Amino acid sequence: MNTAQRSIQHYINAKDSNRPHLLAQAFTAEAVLDMIVRTGSISFPGHVEGREAIGEVLVRRFGQTFENVYTFCLGAPPSANTKAFQCKWLVAMSDKHSGEVRVGCGVYDWQFEPGSNRAERLTITIEHMATLPAADLAPVMTWVSALDYPWCAVHAVMNNMPDIAGLQAVLQYVAAETL
């Protein structure tokens, strides 16, 4: 496994499993996170500087609110020693307090430090974040837990997506050819 791919996987494992210590293997100490949120159903700060602050936002606070988190990078992993990598992503999770299900999608835009291949900049664009009733948890979790993790082909996502009306915007975005 190449180091850019490993950095991305450490980030996903840190976020999804609430393990902030893994961010040391994903980001440089001075890494920068930019968030572009195009939906009103979830909020994040627009700009965060430093690995510790990124961990506070994307792991610690996130983990206080959400559980059953599955994040997927859609498509093939980056090539070895790449300087930049962009891919669509899909996330499914549940709210710890309300039980509501969230399914979202967007784009990751990674920039890696030469040498270490840890991320020095990550821009996360959130295009859609569907909020579904708690009753939809079982079909959504059955769907995502059967997918290859964390790298998943778009066709696999599409073939097994549950027939839930609230997922249509996510489905359309994921299926579109362009980023």
Q: H-type helices in 18-136, by residue range?
A: 51-55, 62-65
pLDDT score of 114: 87
- Residue 1: pLDDT band (50, 70, 90) is low
**Beta-bridge partner residues of 129:** 104
pLDDT over 60 at 57, yes or no: yes
- Residue 178: pLDDT band (50, 70, 90) is confident
Q: What is the mean pLDDT of the chain?
A: 93
Is the preceding peptide bond at 78 cis, omega within 30 degrees of 0? Answer: no
Q: How many CB atoms lie within 10 A of CB 141?
A: 17
pLDDT score of 2: 57
pLDDT over 60 at 129, yes or no: yes
Average pLDDT over residues 49-72: 95
pLDDT score of 115: 82
Average pLDDT over residues 148-162: 94
pLDDT score of 44: 78
DSSP secondary structure, 106-174, as one string: EEEEEEE-TTT--EEEEEEEEEEEEEE-GGGHHHHHHHHHTS-SSEE-HHHHHHH----GGGHHHHHHH
Question: Tell me: the pLDDT tens digits for 68-124?
Answer: 999 999 999 998 779 999 999 999 999 999 999 999 999 999 999 988 889 999 999
In angstroms, rounded to a whole number, what is the distance separating the alpha carbons of residues 89 and 37?
Answer: 14
pLDDT score of 34: 95
pLDDT score of 79: 87
Nearest to 90 by CA among 61, 123, 124, 67: 124
In angstroms, rounded to a whole number, what is the distance separating the alpha carbons of residues 161 and 159?
Answer: 6
In angstroms, rounded to a whole number, what is the distance separating the alpha carbons of residues 143 and 62?
Answer: 22
Average pLDDT over residues 58-62: 92
pLDDT over 80 at 134, yes or no: yes
For domain 3-175, the question of CATH label 3.10.450.50 is answered with yes
What DSSP element (H or E) covers 102? strand 101-112
Nearest to 101 by CA among 78, 75, 130: 130
Q: Computed over its alpha carbons, how large is the radius of gyration of the chain?
A: 15
pTM for this model (two decimals): 0.94
